[in-house]
Every structure is written in structure tokens, then in C-alpha cells.
Amino acid sequence: MWKKLLSPQIWLPLIILGAGAGLVMYFMGNQPKARKIPNPFKGTLVEVTQTVRSNSRILFETHGRVRAAQRVVVTAQVNGVVNWISPLLAEGSFFQSGELLMTLDPLNSANLDFTLIKAPFSGVVQKRNVDLGQHVNTGTQLATLIGSDRAEVITDVPLSRMEWLMGGPSKPGEEDPNQYSLDAEISMRVGAQNAVWSGQVERHLLELTPNGMMVQLILSVEDPFRLRPSEPGNWIRLDKKENKAVPKPKRKNEGLPASKNEAAFSVPLFIGAFVEVKIPGKTLESVIELPVRALRDENTVWVVENELLQIRKVEIVHLEGDSFYVSKGLKPGEEVVTSPLKGAANGMKVSLQGSGTPGRSMRAQKKKGDQGQITDHGMNKQKSRKKKWQQETKGKGKALKPRKARQAEEEA
């Protein structure tokens, strides 16, 4: 038995196992310890914009609807039979002032001038009510004509915004105080482009809209159907950055083909069309313009100073579109947070995301991941703050358009 126990086949594996266990215990007791490298907290990453004080002109952006400036229903002045109709008297056809459109064969003696139906102005036929050989009586509606020299756009403006319209009445002291003379831009979406017309705010109606209590402005647009070859509008310059087409002055040689940035774009301003309207307003002097996403609760903004957050109360003089304008509470060159931030408090340590141009957001210049991006939750809070501010001030702007800027960068 002892001979078996002393056999190498028994004790050799035991020696190997013991040696292995000893080595393991040795290395575990003498393993190197990792040195702890200090990693100080650099602060929550935020996106900022640098403040710039300037004179900013308010830009009202709204919508409107096109309507005819001249519309007349032509009626028969005598009893008779329609014995001739001009080819121009077809729906959608254009005519010139004074052109003969229809003649009547009177059933009794009458003034022959009443049998000749002439155009009272230059325009287009909206509707024709009679046909050749038809008998008509005095007062029968023959056709409806629309003037082509100009059209009107009617748009609604909040009553609180009227004080911001620059200049007020164009001729103070005259008998008609609701006459204006303000330039405006009217644009209509056509496919992937915007067709643009120059317009002018002429007057406002003296009755508020029943729903919303809005003031109705009347804008005038010359040559809405682009019938004048000598006037701007037949050739349109396509602006890819703004994604719209704008009127271009008359070409010196109309026979030349369009260049690469031009296109024959003679679409008319359709009656009844819904259009976008931009009206320059008053100039706000010595204000700081900020994107609306920088506006916090109770008219406050978050300012970064020495990498510490400050909650600052500001005085807002106007809010329009995507921007608001601050008159007091900020100094030029200060950095205002534009990104959402949870648990914001005075003295909170923050770090800046990249570097930016004064007056512009640094969001486009960030390089790391998705840090600092505005979330849907953040956007909803910003919209809520904007709506709350508008309700509190009842409408107290040239807007930044980061979306257009991003589109321009993608196209480039």
C-alpha cells in the first residue's frame, strides 16, 4: 500500500497542483495597482450665441388671399338679339380697354351705342353668360370681366401689431387717415419655387374680422398676370439659397436665351390664390436679436460667464417669427445659451460647444455626437414659452432662418 502511495503517478500531480496554487496566490498578492488619474468635471456642454446690439427692422410675415381689384358685370341696355361675339369674349381671354366684345341687334328703335358692348378697362373674361343668337332683355347679365392692370391681396394683422407698421398713414392730415404706402413682397408657391411680386400696402378696412379680431390690410399688386413685356417679371432670377424666384429687370435683348440662373417664369398671380406676405415694419433701435429658443420662462435667458450659468431677467420689446428683441438686461458680447438644459440654476458649471460668430448660434459648428441638439421635448417647451409671452404682452421681426441656412449648405 505504501508502495502505491509513494508512486510518482500519485504524488506528481499533487505537487503540480500545489505549485500552481502557490503561483496564483503569489501573483494575486503582488498584482500592480492602477494609478487613479484625476478627471475634473468640466461642466455640462451647452450651445451659445454671442449678443450683438444693433438696429433691427421688424419684418411681418403673414398670409393673404388674392382678389380682383376691378370686377364688373356687363349687362344689356336694350332688348335685342346677340348677333356677334368677339373671339376675345371667351373665359380666360385677355382684352384691351375699349375693344368691341359683343354687338346686339335691337328689337326696337334704340340708341345704337347701347348695342355695342365694349371693354370698360383692360382685363380678362371671368365668365360669359350668353351665346350667339340669344335673345336678351334690358338688365340681362352678358359677361363678368376682371381688370388685369392690378390685383389686391387681403391679409389679416393682429391689432396689437399695427403700432409697429413703419410710418403710419402716408399723408398725415388728409381726409383719409387709413391710407398707407408701405412696400411689401407677395410670393406664391409654384412647384419647388416661389414666384414673387412686389406689392404695396394701401389701406386697411375699418371693421375687424369677427373671428380673431384682426385688422384687414389691403395690398395692391401691379401687373399680376405678367402681361407687360417691358416690365420686370417675364424673366425670373432663381435664388437657390432662398429657394425662390425673384423678379429681374428687363433684359437688354429679349432674344437672348436665359442664362443658367434664369428661367422663363411667367406664371400669373391667380385670383383666389393663397400667398405669403412680407411687410417691413418699424426699426427697433439699439436692441439685441436672439433666436426664440433662447427665451426661458418669465422673460429670462441663460447667460454664461466664467463658465458659470446665470439666469438673467431681460426686457423684451418685440417677438416675431423665430426671433425676439431685447432692449435691457444684456450687454454686447455676452454668451446666451440656446440649447435645452435640465436643472438649470444660478452658478451651474457649463462648458461651451465650439465657437461661433456674434449674433449667430454655434449649433452648426459643433463636432461631437448629438450633444447640445434641441430635442422634441425642448422644442415643445420653447413653443410654449413663446405662446405664453405673446399672451402676456398681447403682441409685443426679422427672423433668423436656420432651416434655410441648412438647406443652402446641403445644396452647396
Distances (CA, A) of 72 to 122, 127, 132, 320, 410: 12, 11, 21, 40, 50
Convert the pLDDT of each residue in 196-220 to its tens digit.
Answer: 898 999 988 989 988 878 999 999 9
Report the residue count for the chain: 412
Would you say residue 59 has pLDDT above 70?
yes
Whether residues 273 and 154 fall in one domain: yes
The H-or-E segment that residue 236 falls in is: strand 235-239
Identify the domain boundary among 226, 246, 280: 280
Identify the domain boundary among 228, 246, 280: 280
What is the rounded distance in angstroms from the CA atom of residue 265 to the CA atom of residue 233?
Answer: 8
What's the pLDDT score for residue 15?
Answer: 72
The H-or-E segment that residue 309 falls in is: strand 308-313
Q: Are 147 and 121 in contact (CB under 8 A)?
A: yes
Q: Are 215 and 159 in contact (CB under 8 A)?
A: yes
The H-or-E segment that residue 8 falls in is: helix 8-29
Whether residues 113 and 155 fall in one domain: no
Number of domains in the chain: 3
50-81 residues labelled b (16+ CB within 10 A) or e (exposed): bbbbeebebbbebebebebbbebebebbbbbe
* Domain presence at residue 178: yes
**Which one, of 359, 397, 412, 298, lies nearest residue 60 by Cα?**
397
Sheet containing 262-264, strands listed edge to edge, beginning at the edge strand earlier in sequence: 244-247, 235-239, 262-264
What's the pLDDT score for residue 291?
Answer: 93
* Domain presence at residue 26: no
Containing domain of residue 101, as a range? 72-147
What's the pLDDT score for residue 312?
Answer: 95
Give me the residue label for grid cell 442664362: 259
Mean pLDDT of 40-67: 88
Percentage with pLDDT > 90 across the chain: 42
DSSP 8-state symbol, 261: T
281 CB contacts (<8 Å, ≥6 apart)? 57, 58, 59, 60, 161, 164, 165, 166
Whether residues 323 and 236 fall in one domain: no
* Domain presence at residue 18: no
Whether residues 292 and 304 fall in one domain: yes
What's the pLDDT score for residue 56?
Answer: 86
Q: How confident is the model at residue 262 (pLDDT cuts 50, 70, 90)?
A: very low
Whether residues 183 and 271 fall in one domain: yes
Least confident of 132-146, 304-318, 331-345, 384-398: 384-398
Q: What cell does 290 get? A: 436672439
CA 178 to chain centre: 27
Q: How confident is the model at residue 77 (pLDDT cuts 50, 70, 90)?
A: very high
Percentage with pLDDT > 70 across the chain: 66
What is the rounded distance in angstroms from the CA atom of residue 285 to the CA atom of residue 282?
Answer: 9
Would you say residue 276 has pLDDT above 70?
yes
Whether residues 252 and 167 fall in one domain: yes
SS3 199: strand
Give me the residue label for grid cell 425670373: 236
Could you tell me what percentage of the chain is helix, strand and coil, using 3-state DSSP and rounding each to the nearest 5? Answer: 15, 40, 45
| Residue 12 or 373, more confident | 12
Identify the domain boundary among 280, 310, 335: 280
Q: What angle do CA 402, 408, 411 make, to 5 degrees?
A: 145
Convert the pLDDT of each residue in 321-377 to its tens digit.
Answer: 788 999 999 999 999 999 998 888 999 999 887 544 444 444 433 333 333 333 334
Neighbours of 146 (CB within 10 A): 20
Whether residues 386 and 360 fall in one domain: yes
What's the pLDDT score for residue 2?
Answer: 56
Least confident of 275-279, 343-347, 398-402, 406-410: 398-402
Q: Are 324 and 58 in contact (CB under 8 A)?
A: no
Would you say residue 233 has pLDDT above 80?
no
What's the pLDDT score for residue 19?
Answer: 72
CA dihedral 79, 85, 89, 90 (to 10 degrees): 110
| Residue 60 or 242, more confident | 60
What's the pLDDT score for residue 384?
Answer: 59
* Domain presence at residue 9: no
Convert the pLDDT of each residue in 175-198 to its tens digit.
Answer: 555 667 788 999 998 887 888 898
